[in-house]
């Protein structure tokens, strides 16, 4: 029974991949522990090292490693360098001359490695990949005790274990303060010290090594998620030995317990306790302090990043508050760069930013409450009986004029707002063009539903409940009916007209915006922005300088929140509202009298307005318009009616 290893480290690249200084160092450090007879037990001549070589050399090395082996041989393949994926998410290992535009011929595909592994021979194989996207390498099997992962059926051999530094979408990191890459640093540490021997049986199995490295990596950088993919009994493969009676190892595990339960801190009492432990293990003060320092190191490095983040946050507040859209995007990118845990970010933000956000939100509420409407306010309403005690309330919307569409000064704010959430600028520009050109329309008086149609009103007219197609959280009697297509709303209007003797219809798009604005010309009838205390939308994506808010993930009762100046409820958010109009990509040619635009355009699509509970605040603007197929129905779609 032999033990053979191929260790590959690529630090320098000749093409378009950046250097990785630690990769070659990773290989050297790992080799030292593998050939140590008291740890890895690999013979010096049975560990092949390849550094800064091309893809051909890596392929040949893999062939040598896996060819003509006995079934009981232990084979280890380790790679440190760039891992890349192509447009189909196929994974490749890189050599010094790898070209990302020609991966097939200049890199080593996962498929090639799989074929090398599947040669007849060893049934004990360990693959360790310290590279970006390495979680994309295994595609087929069910991982023992780790959950189901996508691993290729072709990997169905016996006794295999694949350890990766990251999942299929993540990057592996070189970390400031560590000479080796973060993953390999703890890999070597766990083997060298024996600390990865979690059950104290004197052996370090690959599952124990994985657990040790995972916990250590996560303590230093939350962005990395090491993964483990064992096949059959692969999790039991023993990679190294650990001295059971080593006093340094015993002391190290005592320190690990203290540090883990206190999240990287050692109290005065715990330090005195450890001093006594080190003396009982006959470890010198110098050796004990060195062990403590090594264990505390990842926690201390992480604490430095928290301090750095907090200081940067304070400096940003001094420069600009509330944060503009650009600064918010930069802050999010900075948080990701540091690899901070969400709970730590929340703790700092709660302490520093939340009080300031509360001040800003209160100011916004005051401004919104003090907004004066410049148009006539309707005072009349009518109530139509739909039967079984259910009524349809409508408000008189006065005759008047509207400058319909998106004002020029609103366009740039909306553009910046949507781009910061990851949308392409050219796509957003196209969407904004839908709300142009701005134009004047003159409307006659009409009556519009005070609320969107509820589940109770729909049932009273139609005898059905479309909302039952969805979760119970959408089915309240006073919640808006959802799951209705444009065709469905037309049938409702027909039957409601027959029941009431009145001509009931959908509003035109011009009528809808005129009623929504209620004499205002701001982005929302509330003012320049909204909060989730005023509108039901995804509060994680605010508009302008508004703070983040609640994301309810459902509709709310139609009489929730405050109405606009004309008494209409939820013209922003909760559910998209169908309009009568056929979809056109801009307003060129739209009727100027408020009537629906039914000629030309996309006859199989109709306009929806107002946004919904599921969308960002931008999509709830008074000027925002969207389109859906006539037969489309989902849990965001509702409507209100006109008489």
Rounded percentage of the chain residues whose pLDDT exceeds 70: 90
Please name the helix (run of DSSP H) or strand (run of DSSP E) that holds residue 342, with its range, or none: helix 342-352
8 A C-beta contact, residue 557 and residue 479: yes
Percent of residues in the chain assigned helix, strand, coil, to nearest 5: 40, 20, 45
Nearest CA to 458 out of 484, 433, 436 is that of 484
Torsion of CA 47, 51, 55, 61, to 10 degrees: -10
Mean predicted lDDT score pLDDT of the chain: 87
Q: Average pLDDT of 264-287?
A: 89
Where does residue 118 rank: exposed (0-12), middle (13-18), buried (19+ CB within 10 A)?
A: middle
Alpha carbon distance 329, 420 (integer Å): 6
Which residues 6+ apart lie within 8 Å of 95 measured at CB? 10, 53, 54, 55, 56, 57, 58, 106, 107, 108
For residue 596, which phi and psi values (nearest 5 degrees)? -70, 150
Alpha carbon distance 362, 112 (integer Å): 61
Question: Taking the CA of residue 243 as centre, how many other CA atoms within 13 Å lie in the half-sphere pointing to its CB?
Answer: 14
Q: Which CATH class is domain 3-241?
A: alpha beta
pLDDT of residue 610: 97
pLDDT of residue 250: 79
Asked if the model's pLDDT at residue 143 lies above 60, the reply is: no
pLDDT of residue 374: 37
Question: Taking the CA of residue 525 as centre, how many other CA atoms within 13 Å lie in the half-sphere pointing to its CB?
Answer: 27
**Is the whole-model pTM more than 0.75?**
no
Alpha carbon distance 582, 221 (integer Å): 52
Where does residue 379 rank: exposed (0-12), middle (13-18), buried (19+ CB within 10 A)?
A: exposed
Q: Which CATH class is domain 381-638?
A: alpha beta
8 A C-beta contact, residue 428 and residue 412: no
Alpha carbon distance 229, 283 (integer Å): 38
pLDDT digit string (tens) for 92-133?
A: 999 999 998 899 999 999 999 999 998 878 889 999 999 875
pLDDT of residue 176: 59
Alpha carbon distance 486, 492 (integer Å): 10
Q: Average pLDDT of 239-267?
A: 84
Any alpha helices (H) in 505-553, and if so which ranges? 509-517
The full set of domain ranges for the chain reads 3-241, 247-352, 381-638
* Token pair in block for residue 503: 């001509």
Residues shown for the chain = 643
Alpha carbon distance 614, 574 (integer Å): 8
Neighbours of 404 (CB within 10 A): 23
Which residues 6+ apart lie within 8 Å of 608 measured at CB? 576, 577, 578, 579, 625, 626, 627, 628, 637
Give just the sign of the alpha carbon dihedral 107, 109, 115, 117: positive
Q: Determine which of 285-299, 609-623, 627-641 has the lowest per-residue pLDDT on average.
A: 285-299
Please name the helix (run of DSSP H) or strand (run of DSSP E) that holds residue 227, with its range, or none: strand 227-231
Residue with tokens 């994506």: 541
Residue 236 pLDDT class (50, 70, 90 cuts)? confident
Alpha carbon distance 80, 8 (integer Å): 6
8 A C-beta contact, residue 172 and residue 165: yes
pLDDT digit string (tens) for 165-200?
A: 876 444 555 555 678 898 999 999 999 999 999 888
Any alpha helices (H) in 395-454, and if so which ranges? 408-419, 425-433
pLDDT of residue 370: 44
Nearest CA to 87 out of 66, 102, 67 is that of 102
Q: Average pLDDT of 47-66?
A: 96
Please name the helix (run of DSSP H) or strand (run of DSSP E) that holds residue 303, with its range, or none: helix 285-319
**DSSP conformation letters of 375-394:** SPPP--EEEEEEETTEEEEE
Alpha carbon distance 623, 511 (integer Å): 12
Asked if the model's pLDDT at residue 141 lies above 50, the reply is: no
- Output the CA–CA distances (angstroms, integers) from residue 316 to 348, 355, 548, in the order listed: 14, 15, 18
Residue 158 pLDDT class (50, 70, 90 cuts)? low
**DSSP conformation letters of 351-372:** HHTHHHHHHHHHHHHHHHHTPP
8 A C-beta contact, residue 537 and residue 611: yes
Between 206 and 319, the more confident residue is: 206
Nearest CA to 22 out of 189, 180, 188 is that of 180
pLDDT digit string (tens) for 474-511?
A: 999 999 999 999 999 999 999 999 999 999 999 999 99
Alpha carbon distance 65, 89 (integer Å): 26
Asked if the model's pLDDT at residue 519 lies above 80, the reply is: yes
What DSSP character marks residue 376? P
What DSSP character marks residue 582? E
Residue with tokens 């010309």: 521
Alpha carbon distance 637, 611 (integer Å): 9
Residue with tokens 């609103």: 410
Residue 134 pLDDT class (50, 70, 90 cuts)? low
């Amino acid at each position: 029974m032999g033990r053979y290893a191929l260790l590959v480290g690529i630090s320098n690249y000749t093409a378009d991949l950046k250097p990785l200084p630690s990769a070659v160092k990773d290989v050297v450090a790992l080799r030292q522990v593998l050939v140590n007879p008291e740890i890895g037990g690999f013979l010096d001549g049975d560990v092949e090292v390849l550094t800064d070589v091309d893809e051909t050399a890596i392929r040949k090395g893999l062939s040598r490693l896996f060819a003509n082996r006995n079934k009981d041989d232990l084979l280890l393949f380790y790679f440190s360098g760039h891992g890349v994926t192509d447009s189909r998410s196929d994974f490749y290992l890189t050599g010094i001359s790898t070209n990302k535009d020609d991966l097939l011929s200049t890199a080593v595909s996962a498929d090639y490695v799989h074929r090398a592994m599947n040669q007849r021979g060893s049934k004990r194989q360990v693959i360790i990949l310290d590279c970006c996207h390495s979680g994309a390498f295994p595609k087929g099997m069910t991982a023992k005790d780790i959950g189901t992962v996508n691993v290729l059926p072709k990997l169905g051999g016996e006794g295999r274990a694949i350890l990766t530094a990251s999942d299929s979408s993540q990057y592996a990191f070189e970390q400031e303060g560590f000479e080796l890459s973060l993953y390999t640093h703890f890999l070597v540490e766990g083997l060298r010290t024996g600390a990865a021997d979690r059950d104290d049986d004197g052996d370090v199995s690959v599952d124990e090594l994985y657990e040790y490295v995972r916990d250590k990596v996560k303590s230093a950088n939350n962005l990395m998620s090491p993964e483990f993919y064992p096949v059959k009994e692969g999790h039991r493969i023993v990679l190294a030995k650990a001295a059971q009676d080593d006093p340094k190892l015993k002391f190290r595990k005592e320190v690990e317990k203290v540090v883990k339960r206190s999240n990287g801190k050692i109290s005065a009492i715990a330090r005195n306790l450890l001093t006594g432990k080190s003396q009982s293990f006959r470890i010198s003060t110098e050796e004990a302090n060195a062990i403590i320092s090594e264990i505390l190191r990842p926690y201390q490095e992480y604490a430095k990043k928290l301090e750095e983040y907090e200081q940067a946050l304070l400096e940003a507040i001094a420069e600009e508050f509330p944060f503009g859209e650009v600064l918010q995007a930069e802050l999010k990118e900075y948080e990701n760069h540091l690899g901070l845990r969400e709970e730590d970010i929340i703790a700092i933000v709660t302490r520093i930013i939340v009080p300031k956000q509360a001040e800003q939100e209160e100011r916004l509420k005051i401004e919104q409450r003090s907004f004066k409407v410049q148009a006539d306010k309707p005072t009349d309403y009518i109530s139509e009986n739909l039967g079984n005690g259910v009524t349809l309330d409508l408000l008189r919307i006065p005759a008047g004029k509207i400058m319909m569409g998106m004002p020029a000064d609103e366009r740039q704010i909306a553009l910046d707002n949507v781009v910061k959430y990851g949308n392409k600028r050219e796509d957003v520009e196209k969407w904004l063009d839908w709300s142009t050109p701005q134009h004047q329309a003159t409307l006659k008086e009409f009556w519009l539903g005070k609320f969107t149609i509820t589940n109770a009103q729909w049932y009273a007219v139609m005898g059905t409940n479309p909302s039952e197609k969805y979760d119970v959280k959408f089915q309240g009697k006073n919640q808006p009916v959802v799951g209705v297509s444009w065709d469905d709303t037309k049938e409702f209007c027909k039957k409601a007209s027959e029941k009431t003797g009145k001509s009931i219809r959908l509003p035109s798009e011009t009528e809808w915006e005129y009623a929504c604005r209620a004499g205002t010309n701001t982005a929302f009838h509330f003012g320049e922005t909204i909060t989730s205390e005023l509108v039901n939308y995804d509060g994680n994506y605010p508009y302008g300088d508004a703070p983040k808010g609640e994301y309810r993930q459902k509709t709310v009762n139609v009489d929730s929140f405050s109405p606009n100046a004309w008494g209409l409820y939820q013209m922003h958010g909760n559910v998209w509202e169908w309009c009568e109009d056929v979809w056109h990509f801009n307003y060129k040619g739209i009727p100027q009298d408020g009537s629906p635009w039914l000629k030309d355009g996309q006859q199989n699509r109709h306009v929806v307005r107002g946004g919904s509970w599921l969308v960002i605040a931008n999509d709830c603007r008074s000027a925002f318009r969207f389109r859906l197929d006539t037969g489309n129905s989902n849990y965001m779609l509702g409507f209100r009616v006109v008489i």
